Amino acid sequence: MKDAGQVAHWVAEYPLNPTEIDCAVAVKLKILDGKCKMPPSEKVVMALLYDCISHLPGERLPASMRDLIAQVGPQPDEPQKLSIYEQRVLAETIISRPIMKTFKARIRTQGLLDPQDLEDSE
């Protein structure tokens, strides 16, 4: 599993475009609401990725989603999880599945996450 320094190095080598930044925000929301099916080690890496890019502009997701992420912290309570769930569903309607799949394939191909069957991380 990669640490914060390795993830930051990866981001410097493979910068995310605004659409991919939106994808990283959506994954962070999914992790926080408990619906992410990635292995625990990959959730840690994706949270570190979010930390590295959270200040960068996305393309379509509202800033309120990032504000919510910052507000709830790493261990949201049940009412906060409901708010996160609502925002995650909204994010998933804004970002198409093909765009998210392309993002996940890229971060695997370029070594942020281990290569595996991409369906496992849906």
pLDDT tens-digit series, residues 21-60: 999 999 999 999 999 999 999 999 999 999 999 999 999 9
pLDDT for the residue 1: 82
The yes-or-no verdict on residue 78 having pLDDT over 80 is: yes
- Number of residues that make up the chain: 122
Instruction: Report the pLDDT value the prediction gives residue 115, as an integer from 0 to 100.
Output: 80
Q: What is the average pLDDT across 77-90?
A: 95
The C-alpha atoms of residue 48 and residue 98 are separated, in whole angstroms, by: 23
Sheet strands (E) in 60-111: none
Query: What pLDDT score was predicted for residue 120?
Result: 43
Residue 118 clears pLDDT 90, i.e. is over it: no
What is d(CA 42, CA 83) in angstroms, rounded to the nearest whole number?
23
Over residues 73-93, the mean pLDDT reads 95
> How high is the pLDDT of residue 116?
67
Tell me the C-alpha distance between 84 and 30, whole Å.
8
Contacts of 57 (CB under 8 A, 6+ apart): 18, 21
- Please state, rounded to an integer, the average pLDDT across all residues of the chain: 93
Cα 81 to its chain centre, rounded Å, is: 16
pLDDT value at residue 119: 44
